[in-house]
Amino acid sequence: MHTAKISDAEFSAADSTLRRVLVVDDSRLQLRIITGILDRLGFEVMQASSGQEALEICRRTPPDLVLSDWMMPGMDGLEFCRHFRDMPRQGYGYFILLTSKSEKGEIARGLDAGADDFLTKPVNSDELRARINAGARVIAMQQQLCSQNRMITETLDRLQAVYDEIDRDLQQARTIQQALVPDRSRVFGTSRVSMLLKPCGHVGGDLVGAFASDYAQIGAYGIDVSGHGITSALVTARVAGYLSSLFPEQNLAFDRDCAGFSSMRRPEHVAQLLNERLSADPGVAEYMTMAFAKVDLRTGRTRLVQAGHPPPLLLKADGGTRFLGDGGLPIGLVDEVCYDPVDFVMAPGDRLLIYSDGFTEAELSNGGMLGEDGLLDIVADCDGHGEGPEFLDDLFWRLSKRMDHEQSLQDDVSATLVEFDMLGGAQPQ
273 and 197 together in one domain: yes
Query: What's the pLDDT score for residue 208?
Result: 93
In a domain, 166, yes or no: no
Query: What's the pLDDT score for residue 112?
Result: 92
257 and 196 together in one domain: yes
246 and 365 together in one domain: yes
In a domain, 3, yes or no: no
In a domain, 169, yes or no: no
CA geometry: angle 259, 260, 265, nearest 5 deg: 115
Instruction: For residue 351, give the nearest of 325, 317, 301, 374 by alpha carbon.
Output: 317
192 and 142 together in one domain: no
Total structural domains within the chain: 2
In a domain, 46, yes or no: yes
Task: Look at residues 148, 166, 191 and tell me which one is the last residue of a structural domain.
Answer: 148
227 and 361 together in one domain: yes
In a domain, 171, yes or no: no
The tens digit of pLDDT for each residue in 232-275 reads 888 888 888 888 887 878 889 988 765 555 789 999 999 999 99
Instruction: For residue 219, give the nearest of 270, 282, 286 by alpha carbon.
Output: 270
Task: Look at residues 148, 170, 203 and tell me which one is the last residue of a structural domain.
Answer: 148
399 and 342 together in one domain: yes
Predicted structure pTM score: 0.65
In a domain, 162, yes or no: no
Percent of the chain scoring above 70 in pLDDT: 89
Report the pLDDT averaged over residues 286-297: 94
CATH number, domain at 78? 3.40.50.2300
The tens digit of pLDDT for each residue in 351-410 reads 999 999 999 998 888 888 999 999 999 999 998 778 899 999 999 999 999 887 656 677
136 and 193 together in one domain: no
More confident residue, 282 or 350: 350
Query: What's the pLDDT score for residue 9?
Result: 43
244 and 102 together in one domain: no
Query: What's the pLDDT score for residue 217?
Result: 92
Domain that holds residue 100: 12-148
231 and 84 together in one domain: no
Query: What's the pLDDT score for residue 278?
Result: 86
In a domain, 386, yes or no: yes
Report the pLDDT averaged over residues 105-128: 88
Question: For residue 203, which phi and psi values (nearest 5 degrees)?
Answer: -130, 160
Percent of the chain scoring above 90 in pLDDT: 52
CATH number, domain at 215? 3.60.40.10
Most confidently modeled range among 67-71, 124-128, 212-216, 254-258:
67-71
131 and 82 together in one domain: yes
Task: Look at residues 93, 123, 148 and tell me which one is the last residue of a structural domain.
Answer: 148
111 and 195 together in one domain: no
119 and 194 together in one domain: no
In a domain, 161, yes or no: no
